[in-house]
Amino acid sequence: MKNILLSIFTLAGFIALQAQVQKKPLIEHFTQASCVPCATQNPMLKTTLDAYGETNYVRISHQTSWPGSDPMNAAFPEGPLDRVIYYGVEGVPDTSLNGGTTGFPNSIVTSSSLASAATVMTPYSITATQTWANPNELTVNIDVENVTGTAISSADRIYVTMVEDEVVYPSAPGANGETSFEYVMRQMYNASTGEPSATTGAVLGTIDAMSSTNFNFTITDLPSYLRDKTQVSFAIYIQNNATKEILQAEKTYPTEDIPEIIFVSAASATTAGSGYCDYAITPGIEFTNNDPNTTVTEVVAEYTINDGTTEQQTFTGSLTNGQSTTITFPESTLSAGTNILYSEIISVNGNQYWASTASVSIPNDTYRRLNSESIPAPILEGFEDGVIASNVGYSRDLETAIFDADASISESQFTILDGPIIGLGAIGGFGNSNRSVVFQFYAIPSGEMNLIFQKVELGSNSTLTFDHTYRQYINENDRLEILVSTDCGSTWTNVFNKAGSELATLTPLTSQYLPSGVNGWLNNSIDLSAYNNMDDVLIRFKATSAYGNNMFIDNISMNSTLSVDDVARLNSIKLHPNPSSDFIQISGLTTVENYSIYNVLGAKVSQGTVVNNQSINIEDYSNGIYFLKFDNGNTLKFTKK
């Protein structure tokens, strides 16, 4: 009897020593802020995971580098890239569950696949905590335990990833319209040393029976790009590097209980002149104290326009919970072209901290203004001359016009697109050039885009011509209007208005339309004779998305017919040498001419009078393109480049 009882107790002890624990599923989600399919797939993934319960899984969102802009990837590209290479990911959206083969998120992560993953047992148990000493010092403590009675080494790497559980932008940071992102990878740390950028993890050696290995490190240099420290947590997982199997995963949880943090918020209170020709601006910031335990007595704020001179203001006073103040800066002047106003709060209560950089980093304000002086016709724009970064393929760098669109529409959705850079070949009008302007209705649920040309001086028999190609998705009514203004945009007259099938140049296509070669392009001509011999005429291409398919425009031309005498006079006037570095001599003049010289932004750099064969000194000018405008009071005013 004793022998039998002893055997039973020994067996029970053996079973206890060999017991394993439930594996917590790890979801590695590959996505991108400019990926249109991601915007469709991601909400479905969130629904599945919310139903499963956030304490029952660990998730990391790897914001990748394709197919367009993504500020989260730009902040820390190394981590997502390493995991992309590790799993052989070839596109987004993509997902791996517990280190398995990747696939579409909602095929890999389902209620049944999560339930199945949760039944898998493992000898590893992970316990992890995070502790804030202050807003700039964070300690991570990790215990990896072997719960069995046998030494184990099947997991040979431990990975520690800092994530922000929720990253929210006031407007879409990429091209797919998403503004909220979950469990975003922000940094990877070496569990043994605490060193950042440890994309390949750290060694996890053999763990003896019923023993544990501890990792403990303190971060004193947190990433500057974190948007909200109260959303920071850590995903920890151990993996077999050969098979890629995840043996266990765990996470810490964010907290608002961070010493020395003050909860505040800020918003733009800037006022600017209306219209495209009013250059006045008064920057301002509305600041609010949201902290029930702290009175704000000092706020330092600053702004800059186009990375120019930084202007700073300091508020002193007393703001209790819920109270606000407006910090106003002196009036300033905008430049012709695109002006980007950067505003931010520098410190609160003598350099104390706040929880969320998102709440105190005001979204950049963009103001677009036209040149002060008009350009005589003709204006010919084929979009081939602007500077486009070779790794991007798009740009709004244009001397003859400005781009103006709703804040929700990203630059990549309404821009000059270079076909060869993005692998599409010649996407210009009729396949004759590399570039055209894209209006990406396919990715824009709604919104307005405007291409406004600089003020033009028209002669007689004035016309506007342009090429375009457009396909509907099914039967949507994406719209193109062309409007004319003679009062710098205060009022507009519609001279072209087409939408849907009337605008289309090809049959519908239930995938994203991209032009290829000659087919599908149409040349358009619009009579502008109502504006003959007028100065300061604005031409505006206005596109309104109905979430249909893409439109491309190229070869925009504004022409006027000159008299025989005017043509002869224009052709007789010569500038030489051109280009020049010291002086320009003018020949072919028959009278004394008034002249003004402008840079490409429309700013006047000099003026005077000139006679035939007289030289104008330009040796003090910066390198660039200038326009020499003549006006002697005759009907014909003209410009030389």
Look at residue 193 in the predicted model and tell me its pLDDT. 97
Q: pLDDT band for position 485 (50/70/90)?
A: very high
Rounded (5°) CA angle 481-483-486 = 175
Is residue 333 pLDDT above 70, yes or no?
Answer: yes
Is residue 467 pLDDT above 60, yes or no?
Answer: yes
586, 575 Cβ separation under 8 angstroms: yes
Q: pLDDT band for position 359 (50/70/90)?
A: confident
Query: Which is nearest to 516 in space by CA: 575, 556, 569, 471?
Result: 471
Is residue 604 pLDDT above 50, yes or no?
Answer: yes
The whole-model pTM stands at 0.66
Tokens of 405: 């669109």
pLDDT in tens, 335-353: 988 899 999 898 999 878 8
Is residue 631 pLDDT above 80, yes or no?
Answer: no
Higher pLDDT, residue 143 or 443: 143
Look at residue 2 in the predicted model and tell me its pLDDT. 36
What is the arithmetic mean of pLDDT over 467-477? 97
242, 153 Cβ separation under 8 angstroms: no
SS3 annotation, 172-204:
CCCCCCCCEEEEEEEEEECCCCCCECCCCCEEC
Look at residue 5 in the predicted model and tell me its pLDDT. 40
SS3 category, 170: coil
Look at residue 572 in the predicted model and tell me its pLDDT. 75
Q: Considering the chain, what is the average pLDDT of its residues?
A: 90
Q: pLDDT band for position 163 (50/70/90)?
A: very high
The neighbour count for residue 425, using CB atoms within 10 Å, is 14
What is the arithmetic mean of pLDDT over 596-612? 75
383, 462 Cβ separation under 8 angstroms: no
Tokens of 6: 């002893």
Least confident of 46-60, 328-342, 390-404: 390-404
Count helices and strands in the chain by DSSP H and E runs: 9, 46
Least confident of 76-90, 464-478, 518-532, 592-606: 592-606
User: 163: burial class by Cβ within 10 Å (0-12, 13-18, 19+)?
Assistant: buried
Query: Which is nearest to 616 in space by CA: 570, 585, 575?
Result: 585
Residues written for the chain: 641
Is residue 165 pLDDT above 90, yes or no?
Answer: yes
pLDDT in tens, 218-274: 999 999 899 999 999 999 999 999 999 999 999 999 998 899 899 999 999 999 998
Tokens of 228: 């909200």
Look at residue 204 in the predicted model and tell me its pLDDT. 97
Look at residue 1 in the predicted model and tell me its pLDDT. 38
Q: Which domains does the chain have, with CATH numbers?
A: 17-251 (no CATH), 261-369 (2.60.40.10), 375-561 (2.60.120.200), 564-640 (2.60.40.3080)
What is the arithmetic mean of pLDDT over 386-412? 85
266, 287 Cβ separation under 8 angstroms: yes
Look at residue 9 in the predicted model and tell me its pLDDT. 39
What is the arithmetic mean of pLDDT over 354-363? 79
